[in-house]
A and B are shown apart, each in its own frame.
Chain A
Amino acid sequence: MHKLRWLVLALLTTAVLIAAGCGDDDDGGGGGGGGEASGDPIKIGASLPLTGEFSEPGKAAKQGYEVWEAMVNESGGLIDGRPVEMVIKDDQSNQNTIVADYNALISQDRVDLLLGTFSSLLNLPASAVAERNRMLYVEPAGGAPELFERDFKYLFFAQQATADKQGEVWANYIVDLPENERPKTAAYPTLDDPFAQPTSEGIEAILEPAGIKTVYRETYTIDNPNLDGIASALKARNPDLVVHGATFEDGVGMVRALRKANFTPKMLYQTTAPSLGDQYSGALGKGTTEGIFYGVSHSKEAETPGNPEFVAKYQEMFGGEEVPEDAADAYATAQVLQAAVDGVGTIERERQIELADWLRENEVDTILGPLSWDDLGRPEGEFLVGQWQSGVPEIILPEEAATTDKIIPGWQPDGAG
């Protein structure tokens, strides 16, 4: 019996030491420094929410990265003609997981470059991992202002504007309307979300000083929206304009709640939901969508550099008529990364700060239009404004990107027009 005890102990100790040996990697990281042979793929790592609450946009983002990967490899690769290999992990829309994922990408998969994830909530911790490890971090969908208040040097957001600025173009349009067409009062129901809320507040910050009175501002949470109650409150206050900060289901739900309550404000602006094409019009019926305004970063028809090719490739790889905005944003993100790498000519870990500096000093042409950044990684561009017209989502502003000249004056569900 005594011997058995010691045998067990010896076995356990041996097992433990072996495990330690496995984890015992050689020191000195050295990223992809010695890429002599062309043909040696450049590994680019990202973690995306492929499951969990952000799975829809997460999957679209993955598609966007994959389209870029295919197109880059077809046209001769990155640096010295080396092919690109995407390593994509699933963070399950969970913050702990995404930290683990990026740590794994850096130290186990030993990727050369990183790309960002979907949603500010996930980009916040992930970008910190990248910053600590001094790797460039360009991300497609994290526009909350908090991201850029940390003095990070490696972080860049690849859309035209941060969340608080995304409604700017439209808000200015409203303010510039002639007196008799301008709404007098406005209501701001919004989802409690790091994207929807700053957008809504950014719009209010422009409209209120211009004399459009705020008669209602409330937030609700995604798991308990109580839209009927809100619709009833809105009806009681009768605002001319309703600015609704939303994602998808609550965006659809609010429109329905307003119909149920028999209340039609003169104008309706929503974030996110109306940009989801057929899903949105299918859920509401095309007639109901007439005249609803929204903000969006990408338009399929835009003549921006590389856009027609991207759309064609996307449709070739994944089929269907529509191209999700999140796929386009992801593609643009990869374009930014590519531009920086081409511009500086290296992917070495110790020199990634040069990639970051290059982005700060240069403008990059993407399928979203030209993008440039301030010192904190905030983009300095203009978001697009869209409107549903006759069952088709059109871009109406800014003029350079517009797909139509017509602007319907307001929300006209199943009504005139």
Chain B
Amino acid sequence: MTDAGATAVAEGTLKGGGGSPSQAPSKALRSPWTAVVAVAVLFLAAFPVLSDDLYYQNMFILSMVFAIGAVGLNVITGYAGYVSLGQGAFIGLGAYTLGICVNDIGGSPWVWVPVAGLLAGAVAALLGVVAMRARGHAFVILTIAFLFLLQLLATNWDELTNGTGGITPPLPTWSVEYQNWPYYYSLMGLLALSLLMSWWIRRTKFGMGLIAIREDEDKAATVGVSTPTYKILAFAASAVFVGMAGAIYGYYIAFIDPLGMFNILLSVQIILSLLIGGRATLWGPVLGAFLIEWLNETSNNEFGGGNARLLIFGGLLTLVVLFLPQGIIPTVGGWIERWRTRGKAGLAGERLSGIDLRERAAPAPAAPAASAAPLLEVKGLEKRFGGVCAVDGASFTVPEGSITALIGPNGSGKTTVFNLIGGTMAAQAGEVWFDGRRIDGPPWARAHRGLGRTFQITRLFGEMTVLENVVAPLREFHVGLLNANAVSGREAGRAEELLDFVGMRKYRDVRASALSYGQQKLVELAQILMLDPKLIMLDEPAGGINPTLIERIGEMIRELNSRGKTFLIVEHNMPFVLGLCNPVLVLARGQTIASGAPDEIQKDPKVLDAYLGEDFRLEQPVGA
């Protein structure tokens, strides 16, 4: 969302429910920030007409190139959280494409600009494929290696690139009166397009998925976000406009060579611009780019010397990471928000009200219909961690339409079984059959088939709002769905309904990390429901929350079950389980030792033995 929208959201945090991003436009028009941006844009656009100062024109041109690079980098680094030090490579790729094509094939350089962009996007997608298995450190190292490898190729592949001799594109054919105008205005246009792309991505489901990947990639996978595809798309998006900007840059500089075009300092300048301006904001990269380039030029004039640049960039990078990791715009935004909300209570502290707690006697859980087909079948699952055998041949079935419990003493392997079923861990042996078919794929594929699970310790995407958290899950992989508006429209509407169901609608614009534990649990449930799952696996839904909320959750489970959802619940809270679930499966030391109706399980000696040991005998049966 635009920063005008962010301001609106901040206000919305106070008023609860109001000021959602969808109301942003009218507020945006009145916000002073928009006015500042408008003035700056007008100034930038008018400058070459008003002044023939080549020095400043040059500075603005370079600033725009870096701004486009930073806006692109924002998609993969800001939104998706993958830090890349290879962004400069796409500038070089774009420049070389233009240079080689113009000299070897001919035609006007402008024709080759879009080609350069497409090539850069394709190479980025390829890099995404290669980098699929790399995360964190490994990914950054890979991007550095990528940059240097390209530099080496450009240096050694003489026939194509003329090596260190470089390529000189033809001189401009237009009058010297408008020397820089074509470069200047085409770059402005590109910058506008990149910003549009960045803004658009941010408000679609696709963008939500990217941020989900940044916040918690493994959790994102379990809610249907097919992480490799998302990453490859993000990568390609991050490079296309940068490649085009690189082509124009090469044309402008009039000399394309490996040392200049694949210089690591280009990447450093781009990432520094992004970090200083503010990751994952819309205008942050632009602000950062203009600031850094201005600093660059000024330091050259005042202090002179290539070493001064190194000292400044290096020092700034270090200082930004240490002291200003958010960047300027989010930090200033945070100050403003804190100043505005001083003395006011946050929404998160309010009691959950408006939830209809119906007092009624809970009926005894009915046994599932005898004819119910098994929705989930687990056969002989095995999982070892080094010498420890966590799951040792567990087998059970979950009938369709039932609320099945999976209980067992600590360390019996329950959560591991969940992980194996959900696909976040690979089993050494055994099979999982879902809805009549054997499932084997990655977690998102299983989510698309209708499998949803929550986590013992709730995992939400902390930096996203509650609504965004619920919009992020992907029911099925479908381009139209990726493109869906996450802020308003059908998907957002559906998310709001689900939030309403779990009673969290008022919190739709609150940051997930600000919620209490119980509130997070409710939102996580809403996330799963967004997938429209057939089987919902809950890992300790009653753990760590107050009894009122436990009852509420129990009711929701019954409600959903009556609408056809099957449940598999891991729990320690016996009254909760025994009052809700039928059948009950018991896991001990990695194996299923019993299964049946609640009252059978209560009396089963094997179960008592597993929980309590031989010496202990219950005086009274645990009541339902």
Taking Cβ atoms with an 8 Å cutoff, the residues of A that contact B are: 5-6, 8-9, 12-13, 16, 19-20, 23-25, 27, 29, 50-52, 89-90, 92-97, 99-101, 103-104, 106-108, 120-121, 124-125, 128-129, 131-134, 144-146, 149-150, 152, 192-194, 197-198, 219, 221
Residue contact B306 to A92, C-beta cutoff 8 Å: yes
Residue contact B253 to A95, C-beta cutoff 8 Å: yes
**Sampled A-B contacts (17; CB under 8 Å):** A20-B43, A20-B50, A23-B51, A24-B51, A25-B52, A52-B306, A90-B304, A94-B306, A101-B300, A121-B166, A121-B257, A121-B260, A124-B255, A128-B254, A129-B254, A194-B164, A197-B164
In angstroms, Cα B54 to Cα A101, docked, is 10
Task: For the complex formed, measure the closest distance between the CB of B596 and the CB atoms of chain A, giving whole angstroms.
Answer: 67
**Chain B 54-74 interface residues, beta-carbon cutoff 8 Å to A:** 54-59, 62
Residue contact B164 to A192, C-beta cutoff 8 Å: yes
In angstroms, Cα B49 to Cα A27, docked, is 10
Residue contact A132 to B47, C-beta cutoff 8 Å: no
**B35 contacts A by Cβ under 8 Å:** yes
In angstroms, Cα B51 to Cα A99, docked, is 19
Contact of B32 among A5, A92, A101 (CB under 8 A): A5
Write out the residue numbers on chain A whose beta carbons fall within 8 Å of the beta carbon of B257.
95, 121, 124
Write out the residue numbers on chain A whose beta carbons fall within 8 Å of the beta carbon of B171.
128, 131-132, 150, 152
0/1 per residue, B163-189, Cβ < 8 Å to A? 111101011100010010000000000
Task: For the complex formed, measure the closest distance between the CB of A377 and the CB atoms of chain B, giving whole angstroms.
Answer: 14
Residue contact A13 to B305, C-beta cutoff 8 Å: no
Residue contact A193 to B164, C-beta cutoff 8 Å: yes
Measured CB to CB, the nearest residue on chain B to A19 is: B43
Residue contact A97 to B300, C-beta cutoff 8 Å: yes
Number of interface residues of B (CB under 8 A): 47
| Interface of chain B, main secondary structure | helix
Write out the residue numbers on chain B whose beta carbons fall within 8 Å of the beta carbon of A16.
39-40, 43
0/1 per residue, B579-608, Cβ < 8 Å to A? 000000000000000000000000000000
Write out the residue numbers on chain B whose beta carbons fall within 8 Å of the beta carbon of A107.
52-55
Sorted nearest first, the 6 A-B pairs with minimum C-beta distance are: A92-B306, A128-B254, A52-B306, A107-B54, A51-B305, A124-B255
Write out the residue numbers on chain A whose beta carbons fall within 8 Å of the beta carbon of B155.
192, 221
**B371 contacts A by Cβ under 8 Å:** no
In angstroms, Cα B254 to Cα A193, docked, is 19
Task: For the complex formed, measure the closest distance between the CB of A195 and the CB atoms of chain B, giving whole angstroms.
Answer: 10
Write out the residue numbers on chain A whose beta carbons fall within 8 Å of the beta carbon of B156.
192, 219
Task: For the complex formed, measure the closest distance between the CB of A107 and the CB atoms of chain B, giving whole angstroms.
Answer: 4
Residue contact A95 to B260, C-beta cutoff 8 Å: yes
**B309 contacts A by Cβ under 8 Å:** yes
In angstroms, Cα B306 to Cα A80, docked, is 39
Q: A5-B32, A128-B255, A132-B172 are in contact. Are A92 and B50 (CB under 8 A)?
A: no
In angstroms, Cα B164 to Cα A138, docked, is 23
Taking Cβ atoms with an 8 Å cutoff, the residues of B that contact A are: 32, 35-36, 39-40, 43, 46-47, 50-59, 62, 155-156, 162-166, 168, 170-172, 176, 179, 253-255, 257, 259-260, 297, 300-301, 304-309
Q: A131-B171, A194-B165 are in contact. Are A29 and B52 (CB under 8 A)?
A: yes
Task: For the complex formed, measure the closest distance between the CB of B277 and the CB atoms of chain A, giving whole angstroms.
Answer: 17
Contact of B165 among A20, A100, A131, A144 (CB under 8 A): A144
Measured CB to CB, the nearest residue on chain A to B309 is: A92
Residue contact A90 to B168, C-beta cutoff 8 Å: no
In angstroms, Cα B297 to Cα A6, docked, is 32
Write out the residue numbers on chain B whose beta carbons fall within 8 Å of the beta carbon of A108.
53-55
Residue contact A96 to B62, C-beta cutoff 8 Å: yes
In angstroms, Cα B33 to Cα A6, docked, is 10
Residue contact A100 to B300, C-beta cutoff 8 Å: yes
In angstroms, Cα B47 to Cα A25, docked, is 11
Contact of A132 among B36, B166, B176 (CB under 8 A): B176
Task: For the complex formed, measure the closest distance between the CB of B37 and the CB atoms of chain A, giving whole angstroms.
Answer: 11
In angstroms, Cα B166 to Cα A97, docked, is 18
Task: For the complex formed, measure the closest distance between the CB of A200 and the CB atoms of chain B, giving whole angstroms.
Answer: 13
Write out the residue numbers on chain A whose beta carbons fall within 8 Å of the beta carbon of B297.
100
Task: For the complex formed, measure the closest distance between the CB of B46 and the CB atoms of chain A, giving whole angstroms.
Answer: 8
Measured CB to CB, the nearest residue on chain A to B50 is: A24
Write out the residue numbers on chain B whose beta carbons fall within 8 Å of the beta carbon of A120.
165
Measured CB to CB, the nearest residue on chain A to B30 is: A5
In angstroms, Cα B51 to Cα A190, docked, is 47
Residue contact B32 to A99, C-beta cutoff 8 Å: no
Residue contact A124 to B52, C-beta cutoff 8 Å: no
Measured CB to CB, the nearest residue on chain B to A221 is: B155
In angstroms, Cα B255 to Cα A27, docked, is 29
Measured CB to CB, the nearest residue on chain B to A6 is: B32
Task: For the complex formed, measure the closest distance between the CB of B151 and the CB atoms of chain A, giving whole angstroms.
Answer: 10
Write out the residue numbers on chain B whose beta carbons fall within 8 Å of the beta carbon of A149.
168
Measured CB to CB, the nearest residue on chain B to A196 is: B164
In angstroms, Cα B164 to Cα A193, docked, is 6
Contact of A92 among B59, B254, B300 (CB under 8 A): B300
Residue contact A23 to B47, C-beta cutoff 8 Å: yes
